[in-house]
């Protein structure tokens, strides 16, 4: 579904990604783990068209998308849940969700998807008329995920969905990620909580200082001494 081949990405003269290659197959949950500053968010921004690679290629569903405008990539069925939620705080929950469907014109299907988002996130239904800026961090994360789902994506890329959330809310968010995946949405997940990410993923990549240093099934990486020592607290 997604093939990234040997991409280099720079911020000015600083190279953030160095020859990154990875792939995501349809139906998978693939996770990228790594420390702060490893280049995880940069990679997601490059996939979704917010940054352009200096070298290499990105293919989504067999078509090149590197250098394409972000809205073209969303329209092709790839949604990005950004780090830090980025909800529109002076708009209601419902308005935020409707905005997620701004490239669609199938009104009846949009209504159906809105109801489905409310089924996935009952808390959002309770707060549908509330201003998004007044929500808790966990509720805003639910809203960011719901908004991305309103674009009807085939592939959803998520940046640190558990950041700053209470343990119970983290569990809830990961349950929903699994549920969305079972409904047919492929997921590429960037996450600092390596333990949770590896517990839901099928495969994983480890990113260090802009390079992929390890890859394998989630189970293999969970059992790797190197990964345990660096990311799983030595468990």
**What percent of the chain has pLDDT above 90?**
63
60 pLDDT more than 60: yes
3-state SS string for 92-148: EHHHHHHHHCCCCCCHHHHHHHHHHHHHHCHHHHHCCCCEHHHCCHHHHHHHHHHHH
**pTM for this prediction:** 0.89
State the pLDDT at residue 85.
67
Residue 32's domain is classified under what CATH number? 3.40.50.300
Closest CA to 144 of 168, 194, 180: 180
Number of domains in the chain: 1
In this prediction, residue 30 has a pLDDT band, given cuts at 50, 70 and 90, of very high
Query: Does residue 108 lie within any of the structural domains?
Result: no
Residue the block writes with tokens 């070298």: 55
Query: Does residue 77 lie within any of the structural domains?
Result: yes
- In eight-state DSSP terms, residue 180 is H
Query: Does residue 132 lie within any of the structural domains?
Result: no
Query: Does residue 209 lie within any of the structural domains?
Result: yes
Q: Go through the chain and tell me how many residues it has.
A: 235
State the pLDDT at residue 168.
85
Distance CA 177, CA 12 (A): 35
86 pLDDT more than 90: no
Query: Does residue 130 lie within any of the structural domains?
Result: no
Query: Does residue 43 lie within any of the structural domains?
Result: yes
pLDDT 10s digits, 4-29? 999 999 999 999 999 999 999 999 99
Q: What's the mean pLDDT when you consider all of the chain?
A: 91
Range of the domain at 73: 2-87+152-231
Query: Does residue 120 lie within any of the structural domains?
Result: no
State the pLDDT at residue 233.
65
Query: Does residue 110 lie within any of the structural domains?
Result: no
In this prediction, residue 66 has a pLDDT band, given cuts at 50, 70 and 90, of very high
pLDDT 10s digits, 114-134? 999 999 889 899 999 999 889
235 pLDDT more than 60: no
228 pLDDT more than 90: no
Residue scoring higher pLDDT (160 or 84):
160
State the pLDDT at residue 141.
87
């Amino acid at each position: 579904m997604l093939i990234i081949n040997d991409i280099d990405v720079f911020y000015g003269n600083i190279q953030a990604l160095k020859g990154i290659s990875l792939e995501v197959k349809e139906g998978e949950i693939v996770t990228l783990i790594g420390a702060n500053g490893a280049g995880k968010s940069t990679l997601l921004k490059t996939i979704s068209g917010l940054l352009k690679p200096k070298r290499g290629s990105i293919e989504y569903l067999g078509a090149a998308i590197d250098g394409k405008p972000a809205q073209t990539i969303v329209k092709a069925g790839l949604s990005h849940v950004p780090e830090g939620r980025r909800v529109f705080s002076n708009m209601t929950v419902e308005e935020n969700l409707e905005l997620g469907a701004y490239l669609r014109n199938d009104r009846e299907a949009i209504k159906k998807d809105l109801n489905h988002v409310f089924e996935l996130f009952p808390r959002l239904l309770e707060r549908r008329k509330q201003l998004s800026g007044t929500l808790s961090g966990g509720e805003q994360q639910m809203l960011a995920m719901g908004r991305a789902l309103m674009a009807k994506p085939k592939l959803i890329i998520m940046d640190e969905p558990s950041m700053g959330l209470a343990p119970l809310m983290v569990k809830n968010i990961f349950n929903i990620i699994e549920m969305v995946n079972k409904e047919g949405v492929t997921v590429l997940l960037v996450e600092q909580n390596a333990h949770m990410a590896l517990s839901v993923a099928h495969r994983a990549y480890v990113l260090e200082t802009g390079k992929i240093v390890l890859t394998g099934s989630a189970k293999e990486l969970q059992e790797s001494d190197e990964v345990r020592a660096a990311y799983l607290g030595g468990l």
